[in-house]
């Protein structure tokens, strides 16, 4: 009997120890989780500021032309978030895989659902990239989420509309501008392939939050006149007309930064073996600007964008923008062949597309489907 009591006591002791241990273990796990979540939130907050601090560090605000300033800032955000590596076609696939195609544009998703979508975009991207060029997925997710929330949920509701999210990602991802515009058109047109003005207006409302997020709202923020500046006559707009207008030179004023962002991307590695007449650097990268009045006066993009001028040259002079370098010999041969009619002129800025949109094709990503 005595032994039995002892055994019961001992068992109770063991049970209480186990319970206590499991309690404290649970407690520890809970605490660990809280610390982890807090540090995640803390880290995310740091990175949210980090993107803007880094952007400020680039000194874009000294660029006096607002179009170049805006395009440079958004290109910076795009690259910092590694969105330039995600082609628009991969973006369309990601929307489809996340089941967003079946959801109403005005439906809202919360930030954790957005995080899941964004995470899958980056994990899929890393699968496509060679081992040497893998991106830091966690950091990219955090930077992009913070930027999207700052841009589209400034009041902190913790929710974004499907249309905001699609408009932002389809505009800021990589790929050709013509493909992006086709995708955007698929979002704002009816089943007959005719653009709905109200939807285009909604698109402008969303997409012009991007310049606003990088403090360029005064130049490119949304106004109720934005649609009219793009399409002065309210006639029937089909795909090719839409592309003609948005890809025109110059493009509509409120969206002028978008094709420029693409041109910036295309010239980032353009090398010009000529000296800048202002800063005297021996060669230039990016755009090169040649004065149409002063013989041999050329500026690098950094000097031109900042309005630098010296000698007899004034920043009121007309400048020509060059995106590549042609040696004088090549320029001469180009001019000769042009005069002999060997160079095609009047090339279309985009191919002609059938006006009726293709039906969504799940298995063929390179067909324009509705995203
Ligand atoms: Zn220079
Ligand atoms: Zn000049």
pLDDT tens sequence across 326-371: 866 665 555 554 444 444 444 566 777 777 555 444 433 444 444 4
> Does pLDDT of 95 surpass 50?
yes
Q: Is the pLDDT of residue 24 over 70?
A: no
CA 277 – CA 136 distance, rounded (Å): 40
Tell me what the mean pLDDT of segment 143-168 comes to.
92
Q: Is 218 helix (H, G, I), strand (E, B) or coil?
A: helix
- φ, ψ of residue 134 to 5 degrees: the values are -60, 145
Higher model confidence: residue 224 or residue 84? 84
* Rounded Cα gap, residues 83 and 311, in angstroms: 42
The whole-number pLDDT of residue 70 equals 97
Place of tokens 């955090």: 142
Q: Is residue 85 within 8 Å of 123, Cβ to Cβ?
A: no
DSSP state of 156: -
Quote the pLDDT of residue 13: 45
Q: Average pLDDT in the 142-156 region?
A: 91
The DSSP code sequence of 71-108 is HHHHHHHHHHTTGGGSBHHHHHHHHHHTTGGGS-TT-E
Distances (CA, A) of 103 to 98, 138, 161, 240: 10, 27, 10, 27
Output phi, psi for 156, to 5 deg: 75, 35
From the CA of 277, which ligand is nearest? 1
Give CA 69 to chain center in angstroms.
15
State the distance from the centre of ligand 1 to the C-alpha of 294, rounded, in angstroms.
16
* For residues 271-289, average pLDDT: 96
Within 8 A by CB and 6+ apart from 223, the residues are none
Element containing residue 300 per DSSP (H, E): strand 298-300
Nearest in space to 261 (alpha carbons), one of 206, 322, 210, 325: 210
Does the N-terminal peptide bond of residue 250 adopt cis geometry, omega within 30 degrees of 0? Answer: yes
277 CA distance to ligand 1 middle (Å): 7
Maximum mean pLDDT: which of 5-14, 234-243, 327-336? 234-243
Sign of CA dihedral 30, 32, 36, 42: positive
What's the average model confidence in pLDDT over 268-280? Answer: 96
Query: Which residue from 367, 363, 365 is spatially nearest to 354, judged by alpha carbons?
Result: 367
Give the distance (Å) from ligand 1 centre to CA of residue 276. Answer: 5
Cβ count within 10 A of residue 353: 18
Q: Does the pLDDT value for residue 90 go beyond 70?
A: yes
The closest of 142, 33, 35, 24 to 82, measured between CA atoms, is 142
Q: How far is the CA of 295 from the centre of ligand 2 (A)?
A: 8
Burial (CB count <10 Å: 0-12, 13-18, 19+), residue 341: exposed
Confidence (pLDDT) at 331: 56
Question: What is the distance between the terminal CA atoms of the chain, rounded to a whole angstrom?
Answer: 77
pLDDT of residue 10: 47
Rounded CA gap, 95 and 99, in Å?
A: 6
Q: Which ligand is nearest to the CA of 279?
A: 1
Q: Tokens at residue 253, please?
A: 């004023």
Residue tagged 């501008």 (tokens): 177
Using CA atoms, how far apart are residues 235 and 241, in angstroms rounded to an integer?
A: 10
Per residue in 96-130, pLDDT (tens digit) is 999 888 889 999 999 999 999 999 999 999 999 99
Question: Measured in angstroms, how far is the CA atom of residue 83 from the centroid of ligand 1?
Answer: 29
Could you tell me the distance, in angstroms and rounded to a whole number, from the CA of residue 268 to the centre of ligand 1?
16
* CB neighbours of residue 292 within 10 Å: 10
More confident residue, 34 or 145: 145
Please choose, from the candidates 168, 143, 358, the residue with its C-alpha nearest in 3D space to the C-alpha of residue 258.
Answer: 168
pLDDT tens per residue across span 195-236: 999 999 999 999 999 999 999 999 999 998 899 889 987 789
What spacing in Å lies between the alpha carbon of 311 and ligand 2's midpoint? 9
Q: What pLDDT was estimated at residue 310?
A: 95
> What mean pLDDT is reported for the chain?
83
CA of 307 to the centre of ligand 2 (A): 12
Q: How far apart are CA 189 and CA 192, in angstroms?
A: 8
d(CA 178, CA 185): 10
Element (H, E) at 159: strand 159-161
Model pTM? 0.79
Res 110: pLDDT:
94
Q: How far is the CA of 71 from the centre of ligand 2 (A)?
A: 25
Decide the pairing of beta strands 108-110 and 159-161.
Answer: antiparallel
CA distance 330 to 98: 50
């Amino acid at each position: 009997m005595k032994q039995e009591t002892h055994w019961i006591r001992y068992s109770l002791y063991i049970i209480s120890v186990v319970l206590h241990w499991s309690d404290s273990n649970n407690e520890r796990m809970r605490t660990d989780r809280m610390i982890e979540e807090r540090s995640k939130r803390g880290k995310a907050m740091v990175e949210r500021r980090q993107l803007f601090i880094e952007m400020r560090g680039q000194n874009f605000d000294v660029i006096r032309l607002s179009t170049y300033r805006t395009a440079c800032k958004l290109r910076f955000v795009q690259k910092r978030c590694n969105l330039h590596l995600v082609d628009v076609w991969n973006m369309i696939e990601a929307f489809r895989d996340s089941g967003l195609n079946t959801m109403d544009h005005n439906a809202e998703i919360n930030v954790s659902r957005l995080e899941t979508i964004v995470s899958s975009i980056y994990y899929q991207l890393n699968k496509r990239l060679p081992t040497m060029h893998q991106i830091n997925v966690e950091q990219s997710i955090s930077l992009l989420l913070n930027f999207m929330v700052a841009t589209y949920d400034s009041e902190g509701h913790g929710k974004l509309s499907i249309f905001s999210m699609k408009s932002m990602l389809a505009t800021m991802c990589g790929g050709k501008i013509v493909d992006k515009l086709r995708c955007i058109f698929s979002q704002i047109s009816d089943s007959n392939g005719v653009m709905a003005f109200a939807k285009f207006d909604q698109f402008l409302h969303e997409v012009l939050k991007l310049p606003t997020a990088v403090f360029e709202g005064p130049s490119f923020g949304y106004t109720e006149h934005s649609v009219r500046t793009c399409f002065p006559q309210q006639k029937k707009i089909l795909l090719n007309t839409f592309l003609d207008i948005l890809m025109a030179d110059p493009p509509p004023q409120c969206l002028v930064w978008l094709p420029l962002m693409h041109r910036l991307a295309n010239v980032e590695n353009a090398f010009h073996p000529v000296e800048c007449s202002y800063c005297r650097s021996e060669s230039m990268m990016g755009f090169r600007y040649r004065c149409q009045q002063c013989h041999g006066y050329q500026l690098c993009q950094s000097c031109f964008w900042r309005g630098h001028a010296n000698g007899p040259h004034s920043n009121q002079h007309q400048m020509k923008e060059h995106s590549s370098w042609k040696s004088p010999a090549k320029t001469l041969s180009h001019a000769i062949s042009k005069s002999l009619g060997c160079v095609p002129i009047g090339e279309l800025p985009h191919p002609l597309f059938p006006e009726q949109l293709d039906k969504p094709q799940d298995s063929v990503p390179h067909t324009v489907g509705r995203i």
